[in-house]
Structure 1
Amino acid sequence: MIGMQYEVTLPVDYDMNIIRKRVAENGSKTDGFPGLKYKCYLIREKGVDGFEQVYAPLYLWNQEEGMNHFLFGGYYDQIIKSFGWQHVNIGIPLFHYFNDPFLSSRYVTETTGSISPELSLSNIPEKIRRMADGEMDITGQVCIYNPDKWRYSLFSFMKDRPQNIKDRKIYQILHISEGKEI
Structure 2
Amino acid sequence: MYAMQYEITLPAAHDMGLIRARVAARGHLLDDFPGLGIKAYLMRERGVGGSPVNQYAPFYLWNSPRAMNSFLWGSGFQGIVQDFGRPSVRHWTGVAYEEGRAASGPVRTAVRRRTPIAEDAELPALMAASVDDTARLAAADGAVLAATAVDPDRWQLVTFSLWDHDAPEAPGDLCQVLHLSQPGRASLAHGRQW
TM-score by length of 2: 0.83
Q: Which amino acid aligns with 1:123?
A: A
**How many correspondences in the alignment?**
180
Alignment match, 1:51: 52
Distance in 2 (CA, whole Å) between partners of 1:11 and 1:119 is 38
TM superposition outliers: structure 1 runs of 4+ over 6 Å: none
The share of aligned pairs that are identical, in percent, is 31
After superposition, what is the alpha-carbon deviation per residue over 1:4-26, rounded to whole angstroms, capped at 9, x for unaligned?
A: 10000001111111111111111
TM-score by length of 1: 0.88
Alignment match, 1:87: 88
Once superposed, what is the RMSD of the aligned Cα atoms? 2.4
What does 1:118-133 align with in structure 2 at a 5 Å threshold?
Answer: 118=120, 120-125=122-127, 127-128=129-130, 129=133, 132=137
What does 1:92-107 align with in structure 2 at a 5 Å threshold?
Answer: 92-99=93-100, 101=103, 104-107=106-109
Verify: 1:117 aligned to 2:119, yes or no: yes
After superposition, what is the alpha-carbon deviation per residue over 1:62-101, rounded to whole angstroms, capped at 9, x for unaligned?
A: 1222111111112211101111110000111111112363
Alignment match, 1:36: 36
**Secondary structure of 1:175's aligned partner:** strand
Alignment match, 1:108: 110
Verify: 1:148 aligned to 2:148, yes or no: no
What does 1:67-86 align with in structure 2 at a 5 Å threshold?
Answer: 67-86=68-87
**Secondary structure of 2:103's aligned partner:** helix
**Secondary structure of 1:140's aligned partner:** strand
Distance in 1 (CA, whole Å) between partners of 2:161 and 2:7 is 18
For structure 2, list consecutive stretches of 5 or more residues without a partner in the other structure: 188-194
